[in-house]
Structure 1
Amino acid sequence: MSSADTHPTDQPGCPSAGGGDGLLPDELRAWMVLLAATGAVEQRLRTVVKETLDVSHDEFLILCLLAGQPRDGLRMTQVADLLGRPKTRLTYQIACLQHAGLVSRTSVCGDKRGVQVALTEKARDRLRETSSLLAGTVRQALSDSVGPDQRAAMCALVPDLEQGADRPASRP
């Protein structure tokens, strides 16, 4: 059975909005809800990403970041900064992705130390092929881990969430 088939009871519970002795303000309780929901998504995605793309979760995050960029990609330093990763660890992950044929590395013109990283067509094709499954995994993990109490906590932190996904947030 894949992790996408895991039942909600198999996952650790998400902290609720209420409860406690008032020690933490609403914003910190909501932050904890967000962290727990993110953890639930990452836990489910790890297995699905490995099964479908044959990359680690951290390598998947690099692919997702590059997928949202222009075709010429980003400098390695930008990738490290945006993902909050040490540059030495990122160098290893990029090497693994390059070995798999999913990213290309090129020198930045006029900067002998600069390295640009971009997705290959192979990576773009694989992301297109698997994006529905991966998005469904995210939706299911969130659905299983975020209930009414957790949603209320998040709405306390980000009031625009109360409007729902189908209505645009109003701008002041």
Structure 2
Amino acid sequence: MADRAEHSTDLPECPSAQGSGLLPQELRAWMVMLAAVGAVEQRLRSVVKERLAVSHDEFLVLCLLAEQPGEGLRMSRVAELLGRPKTRLTYQVACLQHAGLVDRRSVCGDKRGVEVTLTDKARLLLQETSGALASTVAEALAHVVGPDQREAMYGLLPQGVDAEATTAPTPAPRRGA
């Protein structure tokens, strides 16, 4: 932890965090966030390949499914959430199915609908590797996100939200509820 705090003070000033350019606060914050995501993805790719023997994009599919305990997701929803073409997702899911990490099944009452679920093998593998993967994410973020970058990213939060107290997004109320 001490290394993380020490490391972030060594970061160069974030040009996007300055606010002296042409971009509004939200776009500056978005640029900082993209840089942070890129740093995490770069470090995570090799760890995911080594620990899980899957590609980064296949790992993202596994992560989405891992957040659906006891349920699966429609292929169209996975594609939407990941911002991937359905044809590319079909290939990735086929690779995961071949590795024994996901199951596919038709959605009852919808001839074209396909739902994907994690296998027990995938659940165990994710449980075994999640600590190392989470550490990789934290280390990558600590390396690129310092006080200036953090302040810039707060610009993406809605007005009136205390950025220091925000730990998880509040679910939106359901319609009709």
TM-score range, shorter chain: 0.7 to 0.9
The TM-score, its normalising length taken from structure 1, stands at: 0.83
Is 1:161 the equivalent of 2:163? yes
Given residue 78 of structure 1, which amino acid in structure 2 is its aligned partner? Answer: R
Instruction: Provide runs of 4+ in structure 1 moved above 6 Å.
Output: none
Given residue 163 of structure 1, which amino acid in structure 2 is its aligned partner? Answer: A
Partner of 2:150: 151
> Is the Cα–Cα contact under 8 Å of residues 32 and 149 in structure 2 kept in the other structure?
yes
> Is the Cα–Cα contact under 8 Å of residues 43 and 136 in structure 2 kept in the other structure?
yes
Could you say if the C-alpha distance between residues 48 and 13 of structure 1 is closer, same or farther in structure 2, counting changes exceeding 3 Å? farther
Deviations 1:93-120 (A, max 9, x none): 0000000000001111222211111000
> Is the Cα–Cα contact under 8 Å of residues 15 and 150 in structure 1 kept in the other structure?
no
The 3-state SS of whatever aligns with 2:163 is helix
Task: Give 1:156 shift.
Answer: 2.8
Partner of 2:93: 94
| Paired positions, count | 159
Partner of 1:121: 120
Please give the alpha-carbon distance, in whole angstroms, between the structure 1 residues aligned to 2:154 and 2:91. Answer: 39
The TM-score, its normalising length taken from structure 2, stands at: 0.81
Deviations 1:12-42 (A, max 9, x none): 99654116x4311111111100110011001
Given residue 69 of structure 1, which amino acid in structure 2 is its aligned partner? Answer: Q
Partner of 2:17: 17
Structure 2: tracts of 5 or more residues without a match:
1-6, 171-177
